[in-house]
């Protein structure tokens, strides 16, 4: 770049150019305003003040520089959580004190319980029951209106408290025996009763033999009409909702090997307010009785 | 230049060529990297543009300072301030318009219109925004006016600057800065009134019980106003503001600019009384145009980045032309095309700018489009709104009797300032029944009662249940409908009912 290229442009008072050119547009080599320079220095001074006052330097051994103001994002989070907890304490107390069946009549309490229940469900229940309680094979769908142990708010609350086949002393329990493995029934008998059970919900035609076997072996829990018994968690076999699957092979497997899914007891792990929130949340998923 | 070497400096560059000991003042080696701001002392201008600018200043500042105090009755429970940005409640009130957060696109629309309006104004009349309406220009004008009232006009101010620090100078300076700070405080003070009930906040401010953020905002705006209006002034326009740089692509040869007519003015020079105006320009080089310029430039140098088109040089030059008995307009509004059309034979030639041309038509159409769209939606929006969110997980639920149930979250926005009693039902699913969480009756209904409080967004969990085998397809389209039981107002929102694939 020769000096001649940097020479004035259109007017004698124009400064030299920097020699940069884009599509015929040249850049004047104007001096920067001095205040701009001072502003830059001010930001440097600010940053030094920031280092001293705020957490700034990592890798000081296992630690970092704390800063004179003692600010910490972790502490801020802890404070905010504590503040949120404190803000919730009043509603939680109200929730625990309220008559369980009356909670849903109080719009404010209902909204609070549903919102809290949703988040508690996501943390504690969604792993098995699915993100919105839609269930999975072996894990009941909580959205429908088919309940193994009862769908009233009271029933749901009890189930969350004591669990199913859990370690709680008052746990809900009931056994589906392994009719095949225990050699109570042989293969033909199991097939016959499976066909009969399927026919109850309109899948295929039943048979006399199956009906007899059912009356002898199954009706004690599932009922003469096969509509189930919530006392022992025996499912209704006349609807088309299946916990493990409603195809013939799965039904035969269920009769042969038995079933015994476990739900943990949440008493002691979750406080009463959270359990009530969960109960209300599950109850309002759509199938609550 | 023309400097003769003295005898004792007789160095020789070559045989017979003497070398002069002189250094170019302006070489790149000596020029400073950073330039100190040189203070500008604009002289008071008088004339029609100055009058117009005073009027605009009174109008814009008047609106700015007084607007938050205008009252607007919206009934009990609602703010009675005409213009209010209620940040905690996330609502924006503007006279009869009330904007909720989900209608923030109106603000987007306003910003688009503002930007396009600026483009259009620039295409028509150059930096007319900068010259007349920009807050930086208006407040700087106000600050210079205060300065002039305290310290006198240009010459007096220059003299005062150079004068030693006497009691009189100190007094003038103190008064000036106190007044400047006062204007700054009032500026920041007015700003906060747009965000809270003005009379209440004013009382709180005076009794020192206002929220800290109000005081912080006022302090920051006081300081920035004081700095920008008192000290930074033209530096803001030249170095901080991006708009002057963008404008280069906004105007063309048909845009009006404040400009000097070189073909009429040049060659410039001193003029003696009675002397002929033939064979010379009309510019007498009195430099009045330079003295009044708040940007510290010489308009006669042509189109310049610094020029904010404030038109004060027009006033200054017109006054001089009047005195000389020459026609006004040596400095005036003209276009680049107009400047080129002027010849030495016809130095007064006026060319009408072409206001209607491609870019102005496009800008106007775009403004009309955005503005019309906004106006249409604004006029056609009610104070009741219905939104439906379908559950996507699970898509549907089979109940034990074989019925299919879908879940929906329905949001009802009641923008009226009173409680509304509504009825919710569905159209297009004749067999369907509805269930809603929180309702006393647990059995499914054909029609559900919904009560929404004033200014409330109510979220409803609604289940639609269709009996077994009543679905024609796996995805039935239908409408939710709410009806105001008092006014009979009906709103519908479409949705889909899903069941097992057929």
In 3-state terms chain B splits into helix, strand, coil percentages (rounded to 5) of 40, 20, 40
A31:B35 CB<8 A: yes
- What was the pLDDT predicted at A4? 42
B467 assigned to some structural domain: yes
Structure tokens at B259: 């400009």
d(CA A196, CA A209): 8
- What was the pLDDT predicted at A3? 41
Same domain, B289 and B389: no
Average pLDDT over residues A185-200: 94
Confidence at B423, pLDDT banded by 50, 70, 90: very high
Average pLDDT over residues A76-82: 95
Cβ pair B457, B411 in contact under 8 A = yes
Phi then psi dihedrals of residue A247, to 5 deg: -85, 160
Is pLDDT above 70 for B151? yes
Cβ pair B338, B353 in contact under 8 A = yes
Q: What is the CATH number of the domain that holds B489?
A: 2.60.40.10
B34:A143 CB<8 A: no
Is pLDDT above 90 for A11? no
Higher per-residue pLDDT: B187 or B345: B187
Which of B9-23, B176-190, B300-314 ranks highest by mean pLDDT? B176-190
Residues of B with Cβ-Cβ distance to A32 under 8 angstroms? 33-35
Same domain, B327 and B388: no
Q: In 3D, which of B248, B308, B368 has the Cα closest to residue B127? A: B308
- Would you mind telling me the total number of residues written for chain B in this entry? 502
Which of B41-45, B96-100, B361-365 ranks highest by mean pLDDT? B361-365
Same domain, B409 and B488: yes
CB nearest B37 (choices: A33, A134, A289): A33
- Nearest CA-CA distance, residue A235 and chain B, Å: 11
- What was the pLDDT predicted at B1? 42
B303 assigned to some structural domain: yes
Is pLDDT above 90 for A117? yes
Q: What is the tens place of the pLDDT at every residue in B203-223? A: 999 999 989 999 999 999 999
Q: Is B36 on the interface with A (CB under 8 A)?
A: yes
DSSP class of residue B8 equals: G
Average pLDDT over residues A227-255: 94
Average pLDDT over residues B297-318: 90
Is pLDDT above 60 for B9? no
B465 assigned to some structural domain: yes
Average pLDDT over residues A108-135: 94
Structure tokens at B42: 């604009």
| Superfamily of domain A187-257 in the CATH hierarchy | Cytochrome c-like domain (1.10.760.10)
Average pLDDT over residues B150-179: 93
- Given B307, B341, B375, the domain boundary residue is B341
B213 assigned to some structural domain: no
Same domain, B320 and B396: no
CB nearest B32 (choices: A6, A31, A143): A31
Q: In 3D, which of B312, B291, B295 has the Cα closest to residue B50? A: B312
Confidence at B28, pLDDT banded by 50, 70, 90: low
Same domain, B405 and B493: yes
Residue by residue, what is the 3-state secondary structure of B209-223? CCCHHHHHHHHHHHH
- Nearest CA-CA distance, residue A286 and chain B, Å: 7
B-contacting residues of A 88-117, CB under 8 Å? 104-105, 107, 110, 114
Q: What is the mean pLDDT of chain A?
A: 90
Q: What is the mean pLDDT of chain B?
A: 89
Cβ pair B492, B427 in contact under 8 A = yes
- Nearest CA-CA distance, residue B155 and chain A, Å: 26
Would the CATH topology of A91-171+263-283 be identical to that of A187-257? yes
- What was the pLDDT predicted at B61? 93
Same domain, B333 and B438: no
Segments forming the whole domain that contains residue B455: 384-498
The interface pTM score, or ipTM, of the predicted complex is 0.79
B394:A143 CB<8 A: yes
Same domain, B312 and B389: no
Q: Is B94 helix (H, G, I), strand (E, B) or coil?
A: strand
Q: Is A126 on the interface with B (CB under 8 A)?
A: no
Average pLDDT over residues A233-250: 93
Q: What is the tens place of the pLDDT at every residue in B273-292? A: 888 888 888 899 899 999 99
d(CA B278, CA B128): 35
| Superfamily of domain A91-171+263-283 in the CATH hierarchy | Cytochrome c-like domain (1.10.760.10)
Confidence at A7, pLDDT banded by 50, 70, 90: very low
Confidence at B27, pLDDT banded by 50, 70, 90: low
Confidence at B246, pLDDT banded by 50, 70, 90: confident
Confidence at B247, pLDDT banded by 50, 70, 90: confident
B187 assigned to some structural domain: no
B180 assigned to some structural domain: no
A239:B302 CB<8 A: no
B329 assigned to some structural domain: yes
Confidence at B14, pLDDT banded by 50, 70, 90: confident
d(CA B483, CA B467): 25
Query: How many domains does chain B fold into?
Result: 2
Is pLDDT above 80 for B29? no
Higher per-residue pLDDT: A197 or B349: A197
- What was the pLDDT predicted at A2? 39
Average pLDDT over residues A266-273: 94
Residues of B with Cβ-Cβ distance to A241 under 8 angstroms? 398, 400
d(CA A212, CA B362): 87
Cβ pair B42, B147 in contact under 8 A = no
């Amino acid at each position: 770049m020769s000096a001649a290229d940097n020479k004035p442009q259109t007017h004698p008072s124009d400064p030299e150019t920097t020699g940069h050119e884009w599509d015929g547009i040249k850049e004047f080599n104007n001096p920067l305003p001095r205040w701009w320079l001072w502003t830059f220095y001010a930001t440097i001074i600010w940053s030094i003040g920031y280092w001293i006052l705020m957490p700034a330097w990592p890798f000081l051994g296992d630690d970092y520089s704390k800063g004179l103001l003692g600010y910490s994002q972790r502490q801020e989070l802890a404070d905010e959580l504590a503040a949120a907890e404190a803000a919730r304490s009043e509603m939680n107390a109200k929730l625990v004190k309220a008559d369980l069946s009356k909670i849903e009549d109080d719009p404010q309490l209902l909204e609070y319980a549903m919102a809290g229940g949703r988040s508690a469900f996501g943390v504690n229940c969604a792993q098995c029951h699915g993100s919105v309680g839609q269930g999975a094979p072996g894990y009941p769908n909580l959205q429908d209106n088919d309940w193994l142990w009862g769908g009233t708010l009271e029933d749901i609350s009890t189930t969350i408290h004591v669990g199913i086949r859990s370690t709680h002393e008052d746990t809900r329990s009931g056994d589906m025996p392994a009719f095949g493995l225990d050699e109570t029934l042989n293969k033909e008998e199991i097939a016959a009763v499976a066909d009969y059970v399927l026919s109850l919900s309109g899948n295929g035609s039943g048979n006399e033999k199956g009906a007899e076997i059912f009356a002898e072996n199954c009706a004690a829990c599932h009922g003469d009409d096969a509509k189930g018994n919530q006392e022992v968690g025996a499912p209704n076999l006349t609807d088309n909702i299946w916990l493990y699957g409603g195809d013939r092979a799965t039904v035969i497997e269920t009769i042969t090997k038995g079933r015994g899914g476990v739900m943990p007891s949440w008493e002691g792990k979750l406080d009463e307010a959270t359990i009530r929130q969960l109960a209300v949340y599950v109850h309002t998923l759509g199938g609550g009785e | 230049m023309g400097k003769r070497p003295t005898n004792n400096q007789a160095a020789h560059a070559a045989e017979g060529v003497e070398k002069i000991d002189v250094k170019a003042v302006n070489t790149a080696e000596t020029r400073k990297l950073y330039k100190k701001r040189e203070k500008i002392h604009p002289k008071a201008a008088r004339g029609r543009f100055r009058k117009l600018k005073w009027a605009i200043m009174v109008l814009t500042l008047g609106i700015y300072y007084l607007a938050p105090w205008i009252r607007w009755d919206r009934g009990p429970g609602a703010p009675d301030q005409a213009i209010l940005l209620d940040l905690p409640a996330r609502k924006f009130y503007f006279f009869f318009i009330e904007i909720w957060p989900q209608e923030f696109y109106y603000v987007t629309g306003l910003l688009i219109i503002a930007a396009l309006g600026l483009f259009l104004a620039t295409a028509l009349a150059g930096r007319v925004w900068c010259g007349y309406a920009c807050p930086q220009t208006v407040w700087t004008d106000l600050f210079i006016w205060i300065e002039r009232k305290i310290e006198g006009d240009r010459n007096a101010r220059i003299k005062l600057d150079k004068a030693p620090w006497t009691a009189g100078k100190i007094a003038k300076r103190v008064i000036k800065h106190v007044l400047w700070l006062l204007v700054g405080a009032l500026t920041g003070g007015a700003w906060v009134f747009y965000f809270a009930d003005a009379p209440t906040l004013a009382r709180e401010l005076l009794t020192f019980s206002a929220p800290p953020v109000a005081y912080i905002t006022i302090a920051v705006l006081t300081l920035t106003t004081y700095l920008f209006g008192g000290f930074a002034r033209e530096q803001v326009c030249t170095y901080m503001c991006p708009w002057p740089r963008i404008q280069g692509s906004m105007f063309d040869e048909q845009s009006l600019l404040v400009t000097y007519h070189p073909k009429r003015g040049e060659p410039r020079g001193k003029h003696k009384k009675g002397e002929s105006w033939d064979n010379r320009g009309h510019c007498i080089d009195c430099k009045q145009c330079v003295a009044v310029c708040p940007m510290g430039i010489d308009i006669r140098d042509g189109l310049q980045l610094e020029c904010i088109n404030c038109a004060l040089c027009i006033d200054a030059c017109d006054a001089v032309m009047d005195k000389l008995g020459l026609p006004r307009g040596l400095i005036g509004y003209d276009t680049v095309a107009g400047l080129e059309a002027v010849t030495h034979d016809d130095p007064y030639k006026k060319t009408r700018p072409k206001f209607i041309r491609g870019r102005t038509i496009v800008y106007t159409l775009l403004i009309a489009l955005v503005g019309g769209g906004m106006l249409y939606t604004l006029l056609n929006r009610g104070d009741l709104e219905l939104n439906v969110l379908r559950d996507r997980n699970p898509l549907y639920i089979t109940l034990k009797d074989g019925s299919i149930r879908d879940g929906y979250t329905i949001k009802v926005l009641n923008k009226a300032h009173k409680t509304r009693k509504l009825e919710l039902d569905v159209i297009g699913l004749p067999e369907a029944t509805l269930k809603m969480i929180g309702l006393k009756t647990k059995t499914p209904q054909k029609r559900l009662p919904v009560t929404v409080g004033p200014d409330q967004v109510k979220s409803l969990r609604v289940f639609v249940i269709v009996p077994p085998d009543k679905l024609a397809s796996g995805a039935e389209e239908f409408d939710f409908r709410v009806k105001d039981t008092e006014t009979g107002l009906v709103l519908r929102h479409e949705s889909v009912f899903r069941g097992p694939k057929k």
